[in-house]
Structure 1
Amino acid sequence: MTNSASTAKTMFRRAGVTAVAAALLAGVAMPGVAAADSGRDRPDLRTMVQDIAASGFAGAQLRVHDQRGDWTGSAGVRELGSAAKPPTNGWFRIGSNTKTFVSTVVLQLVGEGKVGLDSPVAGYLPEFGLDRRITVRMLLQHTSGLFDYTGAVLPDGTVVPGIPLAGKEFLDNRFHTYRPEELVRFGLSKPPLFAPGTDWNYTNINYVLAGLVIKKVTGNSYGDEVQRRILRPLGLRDTVVPGTWPGIPGPHAHGYYRYEEAGQWKTVDITNQNPSWASSAGELISTTKDLHTFFSALLGGKLLTAPLLAEMRKPHPKGGYGLGLYVQDTSCGTVLKGMGGFHGYGTLMASTLDGSRTYELSMTYGDSDADLGKAYFKADQTLTDKVLCDK
């Protein structure tokens, strides 16, 4: 297991936009809090979401479930230049929280005997010539050692770039369509970071491969299987698998991208973008309500058998990562989390082991020069302490 500080910092660097996020995405602090739709006044939570928005984000929407019931609220602005606040249950890009959905589907297939958790991935996807030591479990836990198509920092500090995900080059390509196979082959064109199973490194290529395993075994896209196995049974009508569609449905806050060009900082509305570069590693769109329903159902045993859920909750000693979610030791015991970043958006979902305390948070980036890595970590730590641990 790992402490919340190191997990949040690592996750913000590697999830979704990986190392791009902290340096190039930013938010703006704006006053104001939207009314809670729960009908209960919670001054402590209203102050909390306002402080989160003011720490460097354009806006934030928060959902909390605890002994006092359910509460939702938002702070900041829905769009720069407007006074309207973010919707309290608007749509947003959930980034690497997508991985929890994908891992759940893979584990269901394990339970059905269609996938072996410790079987070689090459047996399902022979077309890629993968090292046969790489197992399905290694994909789900990020121990495959494969180079990520989003780029990597080598042990000696050398930065090896991936596909364009930063600066003007990214903006010029933000509507480009990537095929999952293309992303995998890009990563495989680089030397592996370490021998399979010998270390831990968070990489999106693992979950793109997991999505392709689902397709090979079922004959359906990973998105169709997520719909059939999770979204429809749980009634998650506000969770979307966008594919190449660049939009966001329904009420939503805008996300912004801040980058430097010719010595000048510029801010661009990045709400509309083709998410195919993230694929089954981070493309989903959802709401705090749907994330709460999904995570509660998952941890409550409604989607996986007890033995498979136990496998999911076994953390790697270095990364604190189980199979599709983070397992953290805190002052009040073990908690489980999903964490994600995407250009313009940051997301957290978390729960105590018994599900009695949960929170879901969406943050949108604006035009502030604040350190978003620090702001993201602070929001995670604050919510963990005050909501999950009831400090």
Structure 2
Amino acid sequence: MNTIRFEHVSKSYGKTEVIKDLNLEIPSGQRVILLGPSGCGKTTTLRMIAGLEEITGGDLYMGESRVNDVESGDRNVAMVFQNYALFPHMTVYKNIAFGLRTYKLTKAEIQEKVEAIMGVLELKEYKDRLPRQLSGGQRQRVALARAAVKNARYFLLDEPLSNLDAQLRAQARKELVKLHEMNHPTFVYVTHDQIEAMTIGQKVVLMYGGNIQMADTPYNIYHRPINVFTARFIGSPPMNILKVRLTEGKLKIGHDLVELEDDWLALLTRTGKDEFYLGIRPEEVLLSHRDDGNCVQIAVKYAENYGNRLGIYFDIEEAECVASVEIGQGLGSSSQVFWSLKPSKLSFFDVETEKNIGYPEKYQKQENETLLHAEQLLHLQGA
């Protein structure tokens, strides 16, 4: 099994600790994304897997072997860097074949492997060109091909798409998934780009300050954030976070009192606290011109046209909030509108710890059934 396991791993540069008591297991053959802002420790974590950074404390296992002292060349890894690192004097074919130089293969075997990977990444027509004769997207595909042709157990990628424009990145994401599905190596990918993380990853590990904030599926990272940092980091615009108070069995939002479903009321009451952070995604903020008697009246500050959606901005006391709504409802030109809560789309966080307090059982069950149905549809489509 090609698992990767960190047990209480730390990494320091002098007196500065950049990775703090890291505990993480990456399943064999899975696509795992290390996501986070600059300086969070994600690249350092990847480099420790590759053997390019020494571990200060703790243990790193690859498969069943402890690899703290194993040289990089002996770890059966292939790595793709941000700058591609192609040899300028070698053709595309020779750059890709270079990755096989230590495998003791015959010339015919090398040619077979190189031709196969060039076919997958649509590089055959460029095989005799030098890197300077290629576009950025083509050079990136050559770098991927050179790493993938080794058929290593571990495929490590450090922001390989960051130099590409948006259109090329979208195509490259598909190619990365296709490469992984060929041989299913354990795939660890570093990025600060949320779209890359959500579209490529089967599991996303969100890091900040040398610590793991949350490690889960893209769906749960987005819809069920474990803490306020995750809620605010993921999404564009991010999740709205505002302070609310439980008062006489109702939720006080700004100057309005809103009735909660019994399940939510019971869960909040069990905490023994009366102040919380309420979190809700912009696309789940339900706005209307009509007051249904159980809603929050808001004053629209301004609206942004996203092309296919409209961003409606408003304040709840000191918190600026945004709703993402369909164009054509006339909400952007209204000074006063009403916000109705959608119970299944709410999140609540402890004010002191900023941790998610959980969800009513009925919503967890509904969500599990929805995800199971989606997985069954994907399976049928792929059959």
Higher relative contact order (CA 8 A, sep 6+): 1
Larger Cα Rg: Structure 1 or Structure 2?
2
**Normalised by the size of structure 2, how large is the TM-score?**
0.21
- Give the number of the structure whose residues are more often strand, by fraction: 2
**Normalised by the size of structure 1, how large is the TM-score?**
0.21
